[in-house]
Amino acid sequence: MTEMPQTSTVTFHPEIAAQLKGRDLLALVDYTPEEIQYLIDFAIELKAKQEAGEVYHPLKGKTLGMIFEKSSTRTRVSFEVGMYQLGGHALFLSRNDLQIGRGEPIWDTGQVMSRYLDGIMIRTFGHKNVIDIARAATIPVINGLTDLSHPCQALADYQTIQEKKGPLKGLKIAYIGDGNNMAHSLMMGAAKLGMHIAVATPEGYEPDQEVTELSIEHAALNGGKVTLTHNPKEAVADADVIYTDVWASMGFEEEQAAREKAFADFQVDESLTELAKPDYLFMHCLPAHRGEEVSEGVIDGDNSVIYDQAENRLHAQKAILAALMG
């Protein structure tokens, strides 16, 4: 699939760079459209630097603490490799490695880690955990994933779409499946970037009401549109991008059987994708269950960009790290 030529505007926005330095990244709602676009452009610029073999070490001598209460493949590898490529160092810290696993107040953990580290990335369950550690810390805190939000993945996703489709404003993305953290971050990102996002979920699995209302509000301000439906065909009609995720996210495994029944008509298969534009992109944040939320023919087909999308976690993470900690 041919990628669109990119013209980075990062260099011409030093004021945005100054705004981002020292900030937390907890959810995309906290960032302006210009700041989100800056991070996307910066990720593309850093990707080009890496492909050209350029050495870029803005984080030389700096250390990122990575707290994992949820297991991970892409998040851990991309942040750890990203810190190394930016000249810094990353520490992997599981819950069992820290005193918070034995009841130490998160305020104490955030305060103490701020004395040792230059940034914290946390991947956890409750979104309140991220908010609490950010309030305690005096260094940037990055949300590597919570049950409510997954901003790092969404930034990599929108980077991928821009690389493949060009300017994001006006494009339509269809999200099919559970109204989970991934749906939330994609909705807010689309709303901020002036895109149309259509989210199709079974009844009872809609996105969070507050996130939905905020996304609609921001879409109205930025020329975008947010549509919620229980009809996958309606969502996919004339879409530029089709996106799905597992039906039972981490922490909801005990609901697997019930969810398989509820989501039976929400598989992204060849018949559904025929309703999208012929050059649609298929995206999935991985890991994927082939034959469940997506057919093998779609996820492994010519329109699928799942591995480019996964690779861009590295470049998007590097942009976040360099912008916030550099």
What are the residues facing 132 on neighbouring strands?
none
41, 127, 132, 150: the active-site residue? 150
- Clarify whether 150 is annotated catalytic: yes
- Clarify whether 230 is annotated catalytic: no
Is there a binding annotation on residue 149?
no
24, 132, 178, 245: the active-site residue? 245
- What token pair was written down for 299? 């996820």
37, 41, 85, 123: the active-site residue? 123
Is there a binding annotation on residue 290?
no
Is there a binding annotation on residue 289?
no
Provide the 8-state DSSP code for 2: P
- Clarify whether 123 is annotated catalytic: yes
- Clarify whether 127 is annotated catalytic: no
37, 153, 162, 309: the active-site residue? 153
Is there a binding annotation on residue 72?
yes
184, 259, 313, 315: the active-site residue? 313
User: Could you please report the per-residue DSSP string of 72-97?
Assistant: -SHHHHHHHHHHHHTT-EEEEEEGGG
Is there a binding annotation on residue 151?
yes
Is there a binding annotation on residue 181?
yes
Cα 59 from Cα 83, distance rounded (Å): 7
Is there a binding annotation on residue 249?
yes
- Clarify whether 302 is annotated catalytic: no
Residues 6+ apart with CB under 8 A from 247: 177, 178, 256, 259, 260, 263, 266, 289, 292, 293
Q: In the block, which residue shows the tokens 């995309």?
A: 28
Cα 216 from Cα 192, distance rounded (Å): 10
- Clarify whether 285 is annotated catalytic: yes
Is there a binding annotation on residue 250?
yes
Cβ-contact 284, 244 below 8 angstroms? yes
147, 162, 285, 317: the active-site residue? 285
Nearest in space to 243 (alpha carbons), one of 193, 192, 194, 180:
180
Alpha carbon of 110 to those of 120, 122, 135, 138: distances in Å?
9, 11, 8, 8
Which amino acids are annotated catalytic?
Answer: 123, 150, 153, 245, 285, 313
- Annotated binding residues for L-ornithine, written as ranges, equal 181, 245, 249-250
- Annotated binding residues for carbamoyl phosphate, written as ranges, equal 72-75, 99, 123, 150-153, 285-286, 313
- Annotated binding residues, written as ranges, equal 72-75, 99, 123, 150-153, 181, 245, 249-250, 285-286, 313
